Amino acid sequence: MRIEVQRYTERFGSVRLNDVQRVLELDSGRANEIGATGDIAVVKVEEEVTRDYEEKMAIAIMVKDEKLKLFEGVVSGVPHGCLLIVVSNSKRKRVDRFRMEKDALRQYCHFTRRSALIIHQKDPLLAKALAEAGYSELLDDGLLRDGKSEGMIAAMLLAKLAKKGYIGFIDADNYFPGAVLEYVKCYAAGFSLATSPYAMVRILWRYKPKVSEGMYFRRYGRVSEVCNKHMNNLVSTNTGFETDIIKTSNAGEHAMSLRLAEILPYATGYAVEPQELLSIFEGFGGVMPMAQSAAAKHGVEIFQIETRNPHLHEEKGTKHLHEEMLLPGLAAIYHSPLCVDTVRDNIVRELVSTGVLKDNEEPAKPRLYDAPRSIDMSKFQEVMAEKLDSYSALAAD
Ligand code: GDP
Ligand code: CO
């Protein structure tokens, strides 16, 4: 892959926020072919380097009642070297959708000779392991709570059990396996450019097409546009310099080194992606006390990489967009200790004008979970490890 180098970086305390880097070539040829020597604007990430990162990476797919065909497509786009981790919150009653996902994954792994873990979000053993490790805040009624974020945290812990160094997330409702492949290549490229072990790569789509009369290649979704604007305002008011550097507040497709993943607090449900940025700014922006000294010393590095593939996923309607995506994202920004009054007022105005909030209403504070590092990993391992085999997609049942 050939991508633009980091041409512009903004600093917020020990956080290095890189401006968007575009992919120039999905495939940059043989290693002995001319690289970017002498070329200061682009970098050639060799295939071997990419492969090394893929082998150290778990790709976590969160799925809840998505079309099986889409799930299968997404799985087929993940490079062979990555460990697949699927956390499913799909229905089990009447039609056992989880069972269908598991069967599809098992068949796929059998024929492609690769490994995958698949677990249901409501698996009692997972809840037991979390409780014994001291993570009961994730539980409700004795089981892991619903929500994408909750599934992601489980996936992070499983990736750590599997001794991976990186975790990348990919939604299960993507129509293009080729786009999935590109996301993982971008994750690897980002990590290869990182100078800190505390690194994050967030994907920006070239286009997000809308199908109405024909296909219209939109640049940004409206929710991301709005969320980015307020996130940038939050940064601007803290640094004193206006910025528009953040273009990936809501990036569902993103990856982290596990060293970074385990020191961040996470928000519930769909507030999870914007909150990751907020947790980084709060923990390492230098305005509040540093959350962890090693990461503060190395710095936290954020890459935003723009893909060539457009992003086409299942459309879930405006109610989902406004109440499940816009509100939680803006609520997370609103309740950040870094958020000043002017930004707060703008957020409320935005939510009232969209009809998500009534006049004089305040967005509810999203539930926040402690960083995973505060849990007892050896206890989690003790409970999970003996049965880890049974979560392998290749296991009989
Ligand atoms: P959007 O694309 O950001 O609008 O959000 P989606 O509704 O497509 O959700 C992103 C991904 O998370 C999809 O693959 C969903 O199936 C999955 N997802 C949503 N809710 C849950 C949940 O409670 N648990 C798990 N494990 N996955 C979920
Ligand atoms: Co989606």
Q: How many CB atoms lie within 10 A of CB 130?
A: 25
Which of the four pLDDT bands, split at 50, 70 and 90, describes residue 108? very high
Residue 379 identity? K
Say what the pLDDT of residue 363 is.
95
Say what the pLDDT of residue 37 is.
60
Structural domain includes residue 337: no
In the chain, the percentage of residues whose pLDDT exceeds 70 is 98
pLDDT in tens, 307-352: 999 998 888 887 778 788 899 999 999 999 999 999 999 999 999 9
Structural domain includes residue 233: no
Residue nearest to atom 23 of ligand 1 (CA): 147
Ligand sitting nearest the alpha carbon of 60: 1
Asked if residue 278 has pLDDT above 80, the reply is: yes
Please state the atom number of ligand 1 nearest to the C-alpha of residue 173. 14
Q: Spell out the residues 6+ positions from residue 101 whose beta carbon is closer than 8 angstroms to its own.
A: 63, 68, 71, 86, 88, 90, 118
Cα of 273 vs centre of ligand 2, distance in Å, is: 13
Say what the pLDDT of residue 221 is.
76
221 or 82: which leads in pLDDT: 82
d(CA 199, CA 258): 9
End-to-end CA, the chain: 39
Say what the pLDDT of residue 319 is.
76
Please state the atom number of ligand 1 nearest to the C-alpha of residue 152. 26
Domain interval for residue 136: 2-225+250-316+373-391
Say what the pLDDT of residue 315 is.
83
Q: How many domains does the chain have?
A: 1
By most ligand atoms within 8 Å of CB, the mutation choice from 70, 170, 173, 276 for ligand 1 is: 173
Residue with tokens 């962890």: 292
Asked if residue 269 has pLDDT above 90, the reply is: no
pLDDT in tens, 375-386: 998 999 999 987
Cα of 149 vs centre of ligand 1, distance in Å, is: 9
Q: 231, 347 in Cβ contact below 8 A?
A: no
Structural domain includes residue 345: no
Q: Which of 87, 155, 81, 69 is nearest to 113 (CA)?
A: 81
Q: Which of 267, 272, 234 is nearest to 252 (CA)?
A: 272
DSSP 51-77: HHHHHTEEEEEEESS--HHHHHHHHHH
Say what the pLDDT of residue 246 is.
97
d(CA 381, CA 338): 36
Structural domain includes residue 343: no
Asked if residue 80 has pLDDT above 90, the reply is: yes
Structural domain includes residue 362: no
Q: What CATH number has the domain bearing residue 198?
A: 3.90.550.10
Residue nearest to atom 9 of ligand 1 (CA): 171
Asked if residue 36 has pLDDT above 60, the reply is: no
Cα of 63 vs centre of ligand 2, distance in Å, is: 10
Please state the atom number of ligand 1 nearest to the C-alpha of residue 171. 14
pLDDT in tens, 138-153: 999 999 999 999 999 9
Q: Which of 161, 159, 275 is nearest to 169 (CA)?
A: 159
By most ligand atoms within 8 Å of CB, the mutation choice from 59, 61, 63 for ligand 1 is: 63
d(CA 68, CA 76): 12
Ligand sitting nearest the alpha carbon of 175: 2
Residues with CB under 5 Å of ion ligand 2 are 171, 173, 313
Structural domain includes residue 334: no
Cα of 175 vs centre of ligand 2, distance in Å, is: 10
Strands 254-257, 116-120: pairing is unpaired
d(CA 72, CA 63): 11
Asked if residue 162 has pLDDT above 70, the reply is: yes
Say what the pLDDT of residue 314 is.
87
Structural domain includes residue 242: no
- Both tokens of residue 310? 């457009």
Q: 313, 210 in Cβ contact below 8 A?
A: no
Say what the pLDDT of residue 94 is.
92
Q: How many CB atoms lie within 10 A of CB 37?
A: 6
Average pLDDT, the chain: 93
Structural domain includes residue 237: no
d(CA 188, CA 179): 14
Dihedral sign (CA 99, 100, 103, 106): negative
Strands 15-25, 9-12: pairing is antiparallel
Pocket of ligand 1 (CB under 6 A): 62-64, 66, 87-89, 121, 146-148, 151, 171-173, 252, 313, 316, 325
Q: 385, 377 in Cβ contact below 8 A?
A: no
Q: Spell out the residues 6+ positions from residue 396 whose beta carbon is closer than 8 angstroms to its own.
A: none
Residue nearest to atom 7 of ligand 1 (CA): 316
